Structure formats: C-alpha cells, structure tokens
Amino acid sequence: MKNKFFSASIIIIFIFIFFIFYKGLENSNIYTPKTNVKKNVPFFEAKLFDSSNKIKSEDIFNKNNFYLFNVWASWCIPCKDEHPFLMKLSENKNIELIGLNYKDSILNAKNFLKKYNNPYKTIIQDIDGTIGIEWGAYGVPETFIINNDKIIKRIIGPINETSFLEIKEIIK
Amino acid sequence: MKLFKYLIIIFFLFSLSLSNAENNNLNNKIAKNLRCLICQGQSVYDSDSEFANSIKIIINKKLDEGQNENQIYDFLESKYGEWILYDPKFGKSTYFLWLLPILIFLIGGAILVKLFIIKKN
C-alpha cells in the first residue's frame, strides 16, 4: 500500500514537471521589452549632428507638446520604409521629430537625408550606441513618443500604416 | 644601484598590466552574464552585434566611473528588464526554477534511502 502511494506520487510529480516544460514550449523565445511602461525620458548629453556643439536632453524635450524620438541610421534598410511616414508626421504641428543617428558615418547620413529629405527638427549623434542604451533601445529603427517628459508609446521596428495611424490618434 | 632601478621599473610595469588585466577580467565576467537580446542564445561577450558592442562600451564606461558589478546589472535591468541577466533573481515567476533542483534532490534522496537503507533493515 505504502509502495503504491510512493510510486503514484513519483508519477504525479513527473507528469506535473512534464506539463510545465510542455507549456514552456508554447512560449515564444523571442524577447521584446515591455512597451506599456511609462518611463521618464533618460538624461543624456549628445553631440548635435550638424555642428560640434553638445546638447542636453532637457534642452530638447523642454516643451509641453509631443515629441517623436526616432533611432535611425543610413545603413538600416527598414528605416527607408518608415521614412515616408516620418515625412508625413513632420508636417504635423503637434509633434516635433528628434532623430538619433545611431552608429553611422556623418557623410552617409547626410546623403541619406539629401536623398529622402529630412523630417527631423533636431538630430543628435550616437557614435558608440551608448545613448541608445540609455533609452533601452536595442535595434534600428525604434521610435518613442514622448509627452510631458514621459515615454508614452514605443514602436520597435519600422513605423507602418497601423502605428502611423496610432501616432496620429495620440497627437490629435 | 642600477639593478635596483631596473627592478623598480619592471615591478611598476608588471603591476600596471596586472591591474589592467583585473579590470578586463571583470569586464568579461559581466559581459558573459548578460544575454544579447538580438542574437538568440549568445551572451554579450560572445556576440559581435552592434547591440552587444555598445553594451561592452557601457560596461567599460561604468567601471571607469567606479560602479561595481551589481550596479551595472541593475542599470541594464532597469533599461531592458530581467531577461538581459543570465542569472535570474529569486522572485514570483522564478521560485519554481530555483526550488525544483532542491525538490528533485530531496525526492531522489528519499528514494535512495527507501531502497537501500530501509530495505536492509
């Protein structure tokens, strides 16, 4: 009787463990950071794109309106896909576009903007990728919508039709 | 006297490279404990992606600023979440992970005791 109870409990434990691992198989193993958390804009100091002057984060996000902070690079192919959406957003007066030129050569970046137009009001440089890390970004392109010094939306990957409409809805 | 001078110079150079090596070791240790988020199954140390290289630069910078290992982990965890750490902390979602090996060990021990010791008696 005791022996039976013993083996039954072992079987139950193994079924339990199997079930947990089996459930684990269904989970996606591709990680995306939580996007719904409202974080503050990180503090940073960066070089401006077209001059040797430095600018602090509080000098960029100093107004009460909406900001779009876009991580881009001339070598990034999806950045070309989202560029038309950025151009459309730059015509909107409710939002100001800030570009973070990520690990790029200035010459290539300038050519990129010449070819596709410049949607950004301010562009800052991130030569070694450390400012991107302050933002919690891990790839290019990535977009943050900021209001009142808080990140209210984050788009990982290029802006598409859906996210473009979502942004328009937010800044209405 | 001349020999003494040379000895001092050699000692100085040796200690310099030693402290440098220590810093590098800590660098590598931290990088090995971090998961590269865009390259599956690789640590920041193993990976040569843009992301991993930037993280390595950040580790260097923070160590130069005088921060310790845990402060760097906390900083990166606040930016990227717990997933970036290879060593998950004991918490709500990980208690099973931590307790399971102990549980299996205890059950295994109980089986062995039952099979060999109790039966003998």
**Per-residue pLDDT of chain B in tens (121 residues, 90 and over written 9):** 778 888 888 877 777 666 666 778 888 999 999 998 888 788 999 999 888 999 999 999 999 999 999 999 999 988 888 888 887 777 777 788 888 899 999 999 998 898 888 777 7
Which of the residues in chain A have pLDDT under 50? none
Chain-chain contact of A10 with B111 (C-beta, under 8 angstroms):
yes
* Residue A29 with chain B: CB contacts under 8 Å: 40
Q: Is A111 in a helix, a strand, or coil?
A: helix
Q: CA-to-CA distance for A51 and A47, rounded, in angstroms?
A: 8
Residue of B nearest to A35 (CA): B80
Place of tokens 């220590």: B22
Residues B72 and B96 in one domain: no
Residue of B nearest to A2 (CA): B114
* Residue A10 with chain B: CB contacts under 8 Å: 107, 111
What confidence score (pLDDT) does residue B115 get? 86
Residues B69 and B110 in one domain: no
Nearest CA distance, B81 vs chain A (angstrom): 7
Query: Helix H segments across chain B?
Result: 2-32, 50-64, 69-80, 95-112, 119-120
Residues B57 and B22 in one domain: yes
- DSSP lists the bridge partners of residue A123 as A99
What confidence score (pLDDT) does residue B19 get? 65
Contacts of A167 (CB under 8 A, 6+ apart): A68, A89, A95, A145, A153, A159
| Neighbouring C-beta atoms of residue A130, cutoff 10 Å | 16
What confidence score (pLDDT) does residue B38 get? 84
Interface check B54 vs A, CB under 8 A: yes
Residues B95 and B40 in one domain: no
Cα torsion A109, A111, A113, A115: sign: negative
Residue of A nearest to B79 (CA): A136
**Domain total for chain B?**
2
Chain-chain contact of B54 with A129 (C-beta, under 8 angstroms):
yes
Residues B40 and B19 in one domain: yes
What confidence score (pLDDT) does residue B18 get? 66
Q: What dotted CATH number matches A39-170?
A: 3.40.30.10
What confidence score (pLDDT) does residue A88 get? 93
Q: CA-to-CA distance for A39 and A80, rounded, in angstroms?
A: 28
Say which CATH number the domain at B78 has.
1.10.8.640
Residues B51 and B97 in one domain: no
What confidence score (pLDDT) does residue A27 get? 75
- Which residues form the domain of B121? 90-121
Residues B94 and B121 in one domain: yes
Domains of chain A by residue range: 39-170
What confidence score (pLDDT) does residue A65 get? 83
What confidence score (pLDDT) does residue B90 get? 75
Nearest CA distance, A34 vs chain B (angstrom): 8
What confidence score (pLDDT) does residue B118 get? 77
Residues B100 and B72 in one domain: no
Interface list for A 62-121 with B (CB within 8 A): 103
| Three-state secondary structure readout of A77-97 | HHHHHHHHHHHHHHCCCCEEE
Residues B79 and B95 in one domain: no
Q: CA-to-CA distance for A32 and B85, rounded, in angstroms?
A: 14
Residues B110 and B75 in one domain: no
Which value does ipTM take for this structure? 0.74
Residues B6 and B52 in one domain: yes
Residues B64 and B21 in one domain: yes
Return the amino acid letter for A106.
Answer: I
